């Protein structure tokens, strides 16, 4: 077990943090003065450790340190005041020292202790001669050497205070940086130039669930989505090799196992010599923006698809109306009615993300366009809430418009005695797909004229031909002298789906 004196000395050396530091002019000047004042060929500032003595400054001696067994200074630490051995060869403590019996054949030693403010001696400033000095040092030399020891100690104290203040400032700066880093909504990190992480802000650990040992080095790569992992690291290394900023988007797994999209940016950092030796980066959550962009792309595709379909529908309406009416005023009226119906359904579609389109809303909007609100005693609507597929709304709305138009002009809404019942319900088809069955029934209609649209016009073609073709619907259209019964049966899903 080391004794208390040695322990105190080791602790003091640790506080001053001076062992193995580079030469400094302030200490070199002190040994130069000691050598000249004491007229000695060797002068040292010696720090005594547990297993060696190390020289902060030296003149006349080549080695920068030596084993503790060869140290004369260790004896100087055992007594207060100036320590002098006039002839090392005659003193039993040093007579067998290899430095005395062999090269450089030292014979005289004088050392003044380096003592800390709390009274711990951990070294000396000493002078050494290769000739014995029975008279020792003169009073002037002795007092000067002790003064130089105090100056050496003052330099060490100053050095320690500066180092402690720098350490305190660095610690406070680090604390401020950590506080700021943890305020940032994303993650901050640093790494070397091949992607070995050396630091992450706390938010990384909170999000990923990784511990520091798990994340540092290459461990952070395990939470990158497998599809982007290679792309991420190769892109980073390429950017660092080219000394340019790194910018990538990829998915990172959270501690809940869910991947989210992040934007990762990094900049290579140069050291004092101008060499790039590390990298700092920031990771920003863009998952919501990424999903919004994807939805926007889908909406743009859908809008383009709807526009193409809409133009095709308008062209078809114009052609069919022209065939029935010719280029006359009647064409303009019929064509404008059908365009108005098309406009109404486009209005529903534009709000469909916030207001789902139901079959009742679709029927009601067409009937209201013909004044059904004032004929409530003649109209009955009955059925459960049923949401429609967007893809089926446009064609179905045009068919309902034709039925409502004919009902107002020729059918149940053309006279006070007429009655209109519209009912609907859902059921499971043979292949378990969910379907809608709608029945449009009128009573008290006028006898249709030969060649009228209700008998074999655009509306009937829509119901009997367009709905089966476009929506895979099953339809029937039964018209008698006083009644009309139309059944529209269509799927509510994109395809057959089996129940679990």
In this predicted model, what pLDDT tens digit does every residue of 225-243 receive, in sequence order? 999 999 888 989 998 888 8
The whole-number average pLDDT for the span 166-188 is 74
Mean pLDDT of the chain: 84
How much is the pLDDT for 142? 95
| 4-163 against 185-285: fold identical | yes
Nearest to 357, CA basis, from 331, 385, 326, 388: 388
Res. 88: pLDDT tops 90: yes
Higher pLDDT, 272 or 27: 27
Local confidence band at 304 (pLDDT 50, 70, 90 cut-offs): low
Residue 279: strand pairing partners: 191, 268
> Average pLDDT of 131-150?
95
For residues 487, 492, 495, 496, the Cα torsion angle rounded to the nearest 10 degrees is -80
- CATH of 185-285, picked from 3.30.450.20, 3.30.70.360, 1.10.10.60, 3.40.1350.10, is 3.30.450.20
The pLDDT tens digits for 378-405 are: 999 999 999 988 888 888 888 888 888 8
pLDDT for the residue numbered 351: 63
Q: What is the structure's pLDDT at 53?
A: 94
Within 10 angstroms of residue 369's Cβ, the number of other Cβ atoms is 16
Which strands, in side-by-side order, build the sheet including 379-382? 379-382, 419-428, 434-443, 483-491, 474-479
pLDDT at 34 over 70: yes
> Does residue 310 carry a pLDDT above 60?
no
pLDDT at 101 over 90: yes
> Is 286's pLDDT higher than 60?
yes
Asked whether the beta carbons of 80 and 167 are under 8 A apart, the reply is no
Q: Is the pLDDT of residue 406 over 90?
A: no
**d(C-alpha 500, C-alpha 495), whole Å:** 15
Centre a 10 Å sphere on the Cβ of residue 107 and count the other Cβ atoms it contains.
18
Can you identify the CATH homologous superfamily of domain 4-163?
GAF domain (3.30.450.40)
Mean pLDDT of 476-486: 90
Q: Where are the domains of the chain?
A: 4-163, 185-285, 350-491
CATH for 350-491, options being 3.40.50.300, 3.40.50.2000, 3.30.565.10, 3.40.50.10330: 3.30.565.10
Residue 89: closest CA among 75, 106, 77: 106
Predicted TM-score of the model (pTM): 0.45
Is the confidence at residue 349, as pLDDT, over 70? no
């Amino acid at each position: 077990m080391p004794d208390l004196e040695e322990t105190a000395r080791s602790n003091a050396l640790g506080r001053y943090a001076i062992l193995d530091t580079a030469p400094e002019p302030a200490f070199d000047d002190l040994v130069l003065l000691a050598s000249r004042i004491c007229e000695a060929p060797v002068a040292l500032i010696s720090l005594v450790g547990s297993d060696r003595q190390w020289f902060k400054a030296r003149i006349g001696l080549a080695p920068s340190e030596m084993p503790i067994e060869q140290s004369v200074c260790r004896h100087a630490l055992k007594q207060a005041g100036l320590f002098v051995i006039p002839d090392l060869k005659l003193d039993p403590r040093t007579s067998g020292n290899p430095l005395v019996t062999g090269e450089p054949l030292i014979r005289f030693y004088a050392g003044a202790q380096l003592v800390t403010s709390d009274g711990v001696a951990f070294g000396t400033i000493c002078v050494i001669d290769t000739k014995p000095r029975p008279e020792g040092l003169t009073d002037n030399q002795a007092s000067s050497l002790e003064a130089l020891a105090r100056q050496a100690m003052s330099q060490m104290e100053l050095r320690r205070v500066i180092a402690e203040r720098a350490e305190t400032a660095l610690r406070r700066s680090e604390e401020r940086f950590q506080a700021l880093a943890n305020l940032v909504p994303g993650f901050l990190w640093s790494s070397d130039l091949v992607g070995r992480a050396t630091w992450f802000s706390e938010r990384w650990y909170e999000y990923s669930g990784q511990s520091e040992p798990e994340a540092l080095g290459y461990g952070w790569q395990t939470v990158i989505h497998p599809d982007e992992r290679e792309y991420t690291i190769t892109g980073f290394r390429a950017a660092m090799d080219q000394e340019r900023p790194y910018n990538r988007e990829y998915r990172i797994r959270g501690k809940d196992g869910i991947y989210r999209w992040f934007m990762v940016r990094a900049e290579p950092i140069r050291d004092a010599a101008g060499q790039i030796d590390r990298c700092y980066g920031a990771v920003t959550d863009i998952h919501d923006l990424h999903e919004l962009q994807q939805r926007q792309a889908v909406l743009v595709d859908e809008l383009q698809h709807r526009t193409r379909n809409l133009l095709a529908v308008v062209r078809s309406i114009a052609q069919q109306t022209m065939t029935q009416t010719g280029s006359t005023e009647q064409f303009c009226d019929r064509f404008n009615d059908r365009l108005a119906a098309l406009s109404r359904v486009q209005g529903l579609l534009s709000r469909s993300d916030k207001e789902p389109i139901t079959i009742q809303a679709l029927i009601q909007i067409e009937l209201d366009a013909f004044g059904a609100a004032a004929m409530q005693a003649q109209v009955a609507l009955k059925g459960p809430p049923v949401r429609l597929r967007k893809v089926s709304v446009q064609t179905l709305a045009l068919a309902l418009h034709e039925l409502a138009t004919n009902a107002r002009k020729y059918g149940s809404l053309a006279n006070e005695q007429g009655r209109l019942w519209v009912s609907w319900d859902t059921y499971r088809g043979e292949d378990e797909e969910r379907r809608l069955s709608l029945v449009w029934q009128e009573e008290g209609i006028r006898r249709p004229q030969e060649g009228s649209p209700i008998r074999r016009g655009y509306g009937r073609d829509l119901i009997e031909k367009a709905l089966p073709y476009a929506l895979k619907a099953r339809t029937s259209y039964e018209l008698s002298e006083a009644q009309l019964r139309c059944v529209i049966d269509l799927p509510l899903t994109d395809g057959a789906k089996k129940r679990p």
